Amino acid sequence: MAISAFAALLFLPFVLPICLYVAFTDMKYMRITNQAVVLLGLVFLVLGLIALPLEAYLWRLMNLIIVLAIGIMLNALGAMGAGDAKFAAAAAPYVALGDLRLLIALFMATLLAAAATHRAVKYTPLRRLAPDWQSWRESKKFPMGLALGTTLGLYLILGALYGS
C-alpha cells in the first residue's frame, strides 16, 4: 500500500470513531452531519502535518478540493446526497494516490456488503433492535454514510497493517 503505516496508525484512532458516527447517523436519520465532516477535515489538517511530508500534505489537500467539486456536481445532478459529497471530500486527503485503485475496489465491495446487509436486516426481526431508524422507511434512498465510513475505516486499518 502507498499509505505509510505510520500515517494510518496516527489517523486511525481519531478517524474511526468519526466513521462509526457517520454510519450510525446516516442509518438513523439519513443525514451526515456537518460537524462530523468538519471534524474529519480538522483531524487531517492537524495530524496530516505530523504524518506526511509537507509536499504530500499539500497535494492531499488538493484531493479534498477536487472531490468536493465532483461531489457538488453529482449532488446537483441528484446522483449523490450533499452529506455524502462532503464526507467523501473530507475523506479524500487520507487516501494516498497510489492506493486509489485499491480504494475503489474496497469501496465497491463495502457498498455491496452494506447494501445487502442493510436490506437483509430491514426485512428481518433484527430491525426491532432499532425500529426508529429512518433508513428502514426509505424505499429509494440508501444511507451511503454506512459504506463511505466503513470504507475509510477499513482503508486505514489495512494501511496500519500493510502500509509502506
End-to-end CA distance of the chain: give it in Å, rounded.
6
Which of 148, 126, 160, 158 is closest to 20 using CA atoms?
148
Q: What are the pLDDT digits (tens) for 70-109? A: 999 999 999 999 999 999 999 999 999 999 999 999 999 9
Domain chopping of the chain, boundaries:
5-162
Sign of CA dihedral 130, 135, 139, 144: negative
The x, y and z cell numbers of residue 81, run together, are: 446526497
What band does 126 get if pLDDT is binned at 50, 70 and 90?
Answer: confident
Average pLDDT over residues 136-153: 93
Q: 55 in the Ramachandran plot: left (φ > 0), alpha (ψ -120 to 50) or beta? A: alpha
Mean pLDDT taken over the chain: 96
Q: 102 in the Ramachandran plot: left (φ > 0), alpha (ψ -120 to 50) or beta? A: alpha
CA-to-CA dists, residue 13 to 98, 99, 157, angstroms? 23, 20, 10
